[in-house]
Structure 1
């Protein structure tokens, strides 16, 4: 990774719990193979001392698992670069110019805060609906402006990330990408989904245990309470409730989901900074009103 005057500088943040001995080395090798960028890479051990870390990468050891968004916040404090790449440790970059292409798009538009590649399963080529950061996700090959993000692999402008206050660290897991994206939009930025730039990630199902349903419900409430004008909060949560009733059919899962929702409504969401009505209008014109 040589230096050059026109090369983008990127701080890469990767979290590990030392539980992916095959995927993690592949993820790191694909980062280190990126061309035409200057990378500063940190591996954050979330409750562990990272192992299998290649030469040229620094580490941060956290004594306990602080969750994904806070782990990424801590990692961002330890890297330099005009852009930040947040990178799941079971993802990998199939081509050596992925980061350079993402950075080039951000470089062209100062109002663009984040670039979202298309995430696909390396074996099947499937792009899950939850990886497509917009409504009408049936066609994952359609590019365009987006108002949320898939947090697992995303390139963010460092200055915008800092201006927005970073990830909501206390969320621990789930929906931190909605929170960050809304706060970026409220500061006049936009996001872009570029499906011609592909990143590989195994298509796993996160809905396996009670923690998923509880944090999903709690953090939905927190996102709304932190970011929306008061009058829109009940509409947003009513939409989430209807979608949950439609998608979730197991009685126990529904019970845990709504227990999480009520937990979020009781408090703990952190500082409230409702978006302006101008932002509500911008999000709506971009195809995703914030009640969805």
Structure 2
């Protein structure tokens, strides 16, 4: 972030317009200066870009150790917007959800909350297809019990082929898939089998 000050200001203004109790806001400059922000908004500027998960981890710590000073944390990107009240929608969220559930947390799906994001094709990023595949493999290697890894990745491989991407996109996807196996994915902490069962009962078995 750092190169979209107009979008950031629009996002912060949309947060301030929400009904209910005041929202405490922290903006993390992930390797970039934050610039001017509205009064009451705290800022943290990092000397280098830590990536999306790393930047969010810093934001969490701004609310006490492990975010323990607050009840709810919400992450927003600087190119998103919280919807107006009169408005009639690369796998890091899967990794976070799996680990949170395995740690005993509950995920509350809130269909009444509406967020906005510009309508842009993900493929606008040159590395999109490669990163989608690589980042599908990494969380599986880190978080899934070994017997489930082939099934989970096999399902996504099949879905990718069925969607009939272009030949260059498919080559990039398979390149990312190989990269996901060939490169370090971080510490492996497979979820408990009771978490697998919990996900299954929630309608999200970790093979899809």
Could you state the TM-score of these two structures normalised by the residue count of structure 1?
0.64
Task: Determine whether 1:176 maps to 2:117.
Answer: no
Post-superposition offset of 1:64: 2.5
* Structure-1 separation of matches of 2:158 and 2:7: 37
Task: Determine whether 1:289 maps to 2:202.
Answer: no
Task: Determine whether 1:81 maps to 2:75.
Answer: no
Post-superposition offset of 1:228: 0.7
* Structure 2 gap segments, 5+ residues each: 64-68
Bigger fraction of residues in helix: 2
Post-superposition offset of 1:95: 5.1
* Structure-2 separation of matches of 1:271 and 1:55: 40
Look up the match of 2:156. Answer: 240
Look up the match of 2:27. Answer: 43
* Contact map agreement 1:42 1:57 (CA 8 A) in 2: yes
Post-superposition offset of 1:272: 0.8
* Structure-1 separation of matches of 2:117 and 2:132: 21
Look up the match of 1:68. Answer: 52
How many residue pairs get aligned? The number is 202
Deviations 1:213-270 (A, max 9, x none): 1221111111101111101111111111111112252111111111111111123111
Alignment counterpart, residue 190 of structure 1, candidates 106, 124, 132: 106
SS at match of 2:25: strand
Deviations 1:176-195 (A, max 9, x none): 11011011222333323222
Post-superposition offset of 1:41: 1.6
* Contact map agreement 1:210 1:256 (CA 8 A) in 2: no
Could you state the TM-score of these two structures normalised by the residue count of structure 2?
0.87
Task: Determine whether 1:92 maps to 2:81.
Answer: yes
Deviations 1:60-111 (A, max 9, x none): 2222322111111111112342221111222222357xxxxxxxxxxxxxxx
Bigger fraction of residues in strand: 1
